[in-house]
Amino acid sequence: MMLYVEGMDKIVVLAGGTGSVKLAMALYRLKSNSGNSINSSKRQDMHLSIICNIGDNIWMHGLYICPDIDTIVYGLAGLLDRERGWGVSKDTFNCLAQLAKLEGEQWFMLGDKDLAMHIIRSMMLREGKRLCDVTGYLCSRLGIDARVIPASDDHIETRIFTDAGDMHLQEFWVKHKGMLDVNGIAYKGIEHARTCSSALHAIEEADRIIVAPANPVSSILPILTIRGLGDAVRRRRDVCIAISPIIGSRPVSGPAAKYMKALGYDVSPVSIAEMYRDFASSLVIDESDRVLMDEIKAKGMDVYATDILMDDEEDGVRLARYLLEL
Ligand code: GDP
């Protein structure tokens, strides 16, 4: 059970990787008021809980890797390699080079420092600990003053169906560089997955739920499809606000367009409204998409337009502040 300080807003973020970490870091920066350019009078006291996608988790070399959780944890700990968008900054790859000698070519990059996290996590999981407790432990060791919560303790796997067969999302995106045509997507194991009680509790208690800009198909829908979790968010729809990962007819980055098309959606913020409208009452789109506001309202969502591109930290802080003040 979480302990909350009276009077402090409880903010919950549903998060994937790339876009989500930019927003999560900005919220965390507002909360902890680190960074010179933020006026101390504008410090925002809040409890921050980040519920992370687990659909891209994967076992490799006997280690359990949780790419979205890791990115958020490294981001909040100030360790993230921001240029690459994953892993630990200034990491080296000596272990990987040795693995390549012993095992053959490696397609999944794992840095030497990064490996420490996976070693400890895997060891604790083998001892029978739950992923949410392991994640909490790692966060506390790294001095993170926020809760990073896996959407479930159970293993689910986003599988991408291509002409070359069906494969783990990481294999499609990293090994095959997202080049194959996508025919379909499935969340393997999701029917047996249950959400963590800490995720449910955070959602129930939230003053605001923010669906971060993330891949809707491979990050947000897997979270919302986990038994109990989607229903909990649906019950809090009135406080749930989503940010579009699509500007115009393109995602800011990543394979969202391919996945959306494979599910039969146009690549547009209007489709994001269709996908999220049962869970969120509001959608934030980019200024440049103002013409779509009426169409999105007709889908049953309130709609706001602002600059939603986070090119740097200041952009992220501005968007985070906008979301808190809406
Ligand atoms: P994910 O990061 O695990 O969800 O996987 P992807 O890399 O596939 O997706 C990242 C998503 O975040 C993409 O759909 C991007 O369009 C979105 N994104 C990344 N950066 C930004 C940003 O600065 N603003 C917005 N609005 N979306 C972003």
- Report pLDDT digits (tens) over 175-204: 999 999 999 999 999 999 999 999 999 999
Ligand 1 mean position, distance from CA 214 (Å): 4
Ligand 1 mean position, distance from CA 18 (Å): 5
The answer to whether position 88 is within a domain reads no
Domain that holds residue 252: 9-52+132-325
The answer to whether position 67 is within a domain reads no
- Distance (Å, rounded) from C-alpha 103 to C-alpha 87? 22
Helix residue ranges per DSSP H, the chain: 18-32, 67-77, 94-103, 112-126, 131-141, 169-170, 197-205, 221-225, 229-235, 256-262, 269-276, 293-297, 313-325
- Report pLDDT digits (tens) over 125-139: 999 999 999 999 999
Of all atoms in ligand 1, which is nearest to the CA of residue 15? 4
- Distance (Å, rounded) from C-alpha 80 to C-alpha 96? 19
Confidence label for 28 from pLDDT (cuts 50, 70 and 90): very high
The answer to whether position 108 is within a domain reads no
Of all atoms in ligand 1, which is nearest to the CA of residue 21? 2
Is there a contact between 130 and 119 (Cβ–Cβ < 8 Å)? no
Using a 6 Å cutoff on CB, does residue 25 contact ligand 1?
no
The answer to whether position 70 is within a domain reads no
- CATH number at 278 reads 3.40.50.10680
Through-space distance between the first and last CA atoms of the chain, rounded to whole angstroms: 29
Q: Is the pLDDT of residue 113 over 80?
A: yes
Confidence label for 41 from pLDDT (cuts 50, 70 and 90): very low
Of all atoms in ligand 1, which is nearest to the CA of residue 316? 23
Burial class (CB in 10 A: 0-12, 13-18, 19+), 29: buried
The answer to whether position 286 is within a domain reads yes
Residue located nearest, by CA, to atom 24 of ligand 1: 309
Using a 6 Å cutoff on CB, does residue 17 contact ligand 1?
yes
Using a 6 Å cutoff on CB, does residue 16 contact ligand 1?
yes
Using a 6 Å cutoff on CB, does residue 243 contact ligand 1?
yes
What is the reported pTM? 0.95
* Pocket mutation for ligand 1, best pick of 21, 253, 258, 275 (most atoms within 8 Å of C-beta): 253
- Report pLDDT digits (tens) over 238-290: 999 999 999 999 999 999 999 999 999 999 999 999 999 999 999 999 999 99
Which H or E element spans position 175? none
Q: Which whole number is the average pLDDT over 217-229?
A: 97
The answer to whether position 142 is within a domain reads yes
Confidence label for 35 from pLDDT (cuts 50, 70 and 90): very low
Pairing of strands 282-286, 246-247: unpaired
Give pLDDT, residue 40: 44
Residue located nearest, by CA, to atom 28 of ligand 1: 19
Domain count of the fold of the chain: 1
Q: At 140, which amino acid appears? A: S
From its phi and psi, is residue 302 left (phi > 0), alpha (psi between -120 and 50) or beta? Answer: beta
Ligand 1 mean position, distance from CA 41 (Å): 31
The answer to whether position 17 is within a domain reads yes
The answer to whether position 268 is within a domain reads yes
- Report pLDDT digits (tens) over 199-220: 999 999 999 999 999 999 999 9
Using a 6 Å cutoff on CB, does residue 255 contact ligand 1?
yes
